[in-house]
Amino acid sequence: MSPAPLAPAGGRDRSAAVRRVLGGLLVANLAVVAAKAAVGIVAGSLSVLGDALHSSVDALYNILGLIVVRVAAREPDEDHPYGHGKFETLGALGIVVFLSVTGFELVRSAIEKLVAGGQPIRVSDISLGILLATLGTNVLVAWYENRRGHELASELLIADAAHTRTDVFITIGVLIGVLFSRQGYVWVDSVVAILVALLIVRVAFHILSRTVPVLVDERAIPEPTIRESAQAVEGVKSAYGIRSRGGNAGVRYAEVTIAVDRGANVAAAHAIADAVEERLKHDLELEEVTVHVEPC
């Protein structure tokens, strides 16, 4: 079960924490790539080399993440008045491309091997031990990155953890294929590869379902919920013109127009608007609320 999301940390502190996580994961992923590539070259195994290639995507994504997170942490400017936070969500969406390419290549290679009849894979016990060690590393990396992603409310880390979990399944599939291939069942490697590709598609869809709503500004909170909270403030006759959207790191924004007594002076109307803003932020955990005041 994934840990419950915590409140996002401050912009700069959170960005630095995410970069530290990505830096540590980059080192671990490079070690995994080197180990798998060495085993694949020594054993002459295309499936193991393909697994190493897939693992290299994790390392490349870590590098991409380090760049994207730094950009996302920038303060709002003239060209980006709402900040750069969606660059992080866009980076998470980019992983879907990596997953799609990986899945396509897996299926293509598997079909080619099935048609050709396959070839025995000769992997020593030491090489199998190394593959098992990389599997254990990936399990720890996926668990740690997913936990830190939820703690820091980082879509980038959560998406990358999902990708790393596919690496775990792929390595398990490769190990199964290697073991059966050593016994003469060379077709198992290709069948397992196709099953792994289906898992990759599932993970890609999961990432899309998390990132697309943020990028297209899908409603973050039901309109009746915002209206009820706003109208509970004394002095608010009605609330309408309600809009909300989500941002990266679990940040949410809302906009609402409130109707107040036309006899209220400017100071009183402003005080009511401030009260609505504070209530919505407190009740609905909103980062920013824009309140428009109209006399009624």
Question: Mind listing the pLDDT tens digit for each residue in 201-213?
Answer: 877 787 788 777 7
pLDDT, mean of residues 84-93: 70
pLDDT, mean of residues 268-274: 90
Predicted TM-score (pTM) of the model is 0.59
Please check the confidence at residue 260 and state whether its pLDDT lies above 80: yes
d(CA 125, CA 133): 12
The residues, ordered by sequence, that sit 6+ positions from 2 with a Cβ below 8 Å of its Cβ are 146, 147, 150
d(CA 145, CA 65): 13
d(CA 276, CA 282): 10
Please check the confidence at residue 133 and state whether its pLDDT lies above 80: yes
pLDDT at 84: 65
Residue predicted with more confidence, 276 or 16: 276
- In the chain, the amino acid numbered 222 is P
d(CA 77, CA 81): 5
pLDDT, mean of residues 149-175: 80
Q: Which residues of 25-46 are buried (b: 16+ CB within 10 A; e: fewer)?
A: bbebbeebbebbbebbeebebe
For residue range 201-257, what is the model confidence (pLDDT) as tens digits?
Answer: 877 787 788 777 777 777 888 899 999 999 999 999 899 999 988 765 557 888 999
8 Å CB contact between 284 and 225: yes
Please check the confidence at residue 6 and state whether its pLDDT lies above 50: no
Least confident stretch, 20-34, 120-134, 179-193, 260-274: 179-193
pLDDT, mean of residues 50-59: 76
Say how many C-beta atoms besides its own lie within 10 A of residue 94's C-beta. 18
d(CA 120, CA 134): 22
